[in-house]
Chain A
Amino acid sequence: MSDSDADRTIRPETSGLNSEDPEEPESDVTESTGETVTLRIFRYDPEVESKQDAGFDTFRIPTHEGMTILDALIEARDEQDPSLTFRHSCRQGVCGSDALFINGSQRLGCKTQVSELKEPIQIEPLPHHPVVKDLVVDMDSFYERMRAVEPYFDPDDPPPDELTERYQSRENREDVKLSTRCIWCGACTSSCTIASNEDVYLGPAAINKGYRFYADEREGEDRAEERLEILQEHDGVWRCQTQFSCTNVCPQDIPLTEHIQQIKRDATKADLRFW
């Protein structure tokens, strides 16, 4: 029927091998390569006396092709030390719960290949957050900043009736497309020295979230003006010093600095008066 259907049937015949052949190795991506990787993992547990002094534990983990840092952590916990604590959920870069400080930069454990990193791989909790236990940090300050930009769709006028959809132009969709990708992992805000030293700075993720709605034409001009006001308040975009760390670490490849700079320019233009 379709091309893809045809593609699916060619495998055994053209390869000249019977797919049932017991000689053929099972294609199993989790098969161990017989090699191991050395991890240095940050440990801290206020409830266990021997772990109240923070430090590092070394783990040697058997690797397999395609192994991620999160896979390695799960292996370490399940096979070696059940007390090892870290957050994870989706294992596929969607939920944003396993942003960690890996070999000196903020990355998602599930989106980082073990084979790409220099050993020993050092895994620490996200910097600039209080550590609760091992790799788990308290993200409250991050969520507070996200909330501060009122991160929800809030149009000037309600739709004419409940069933009317609000269409967005293709062009406008392109403007906000990348900014909608954020998974609230906190990697960017953790990487920013300005956001870290002063809890008050909104930080890249919150500004990007504000930009996402500010740039959405469906909200209307009044709301856009308010959003600009929120984003350029004392602790908003003007604190950004274009270090580019946020843009470099964002696992969703959101051009954060670009969005922050866009807000700065729009804010400047909105405040310009010629008289």
Chain B
Amino acid sequence: MGAPYDRGLIEDFGRFRYFSAGMWAWVLHKVTGWVLIGYLFAHIAVLSTAIPAASDPEAIAAGTDLYTRTIQGLEGIFLVRVLEVGLLAAAVFHMTNGIRLLLVDLGIGLEREAEGFYVSVAVTAVITVLSIPVFLPPEVVPW
């Protein structure tokens, strides 16, 4: 017998075309979980600008302190606003699918886990769309 042929990992890329609901839920839960962690650090960094800002009450009253300027600067960037919509989508999906996973851990409705994933996606889509007018400037909201 010749040497067995090991196909390696390369062949696995592209398999996503065949993913089931459970696989998509798994991938998206991981991605959104780590996106939320990433946001958490960015969030802490931005909020930390309030510490040096606190020593200057006059600037705070005038609205020119470091913290206020940082927040306003960020919110003035269009891309940041779009990312906020994405962040909300990630958080909502992670939360709804997280509830699905908790039910799976409890052994409830395992035969309907795929439907659970579709519901998570639908809820995420609805809430994300409804949030657009909140995050984006009125002139770009399509309705």
Contact = CB atoms under 8 A, between A and B. Distances in A.
Interface of A: 44-47, 54, 103-105, 127, 130-132, 138, 193, 197, 241-245, 247-248, 255, 257-258, 261-262, 264-265
Contact of B107 (A132, A193, A243, A258): A258
A54 B8 CA distance: 12
Interface stretch (B11-19, B37-45, B62-70): B11-19
Given A255-B110, A258-B107, A265-B107, A46 B22 contact: no
Contacts of B26: 241-243
Given A46-B2, A46-B5, A243-B26, A104 B104 contact: no
B58 to A, nearest CB: 54
B104 A131 contact: no
B17 A104 contact: yes
Nearest to A54: B5
Contacts, number: 71
Nearest to B15: A104
Contacts of B18: 103-105
B4 A245 contact: no
Contacts of B21: 244
B30 to A, nearest CB: 9
B126 interface: no
A261 B109 CA distance: 12
A107 to B, nearest CB: 12
Contacts of A264: 105
Given A242-B22, A255-B111, A265-B107, 5 more contacts: A46-B1, A131-B6, A242-B26, A247-B22, A247-B110
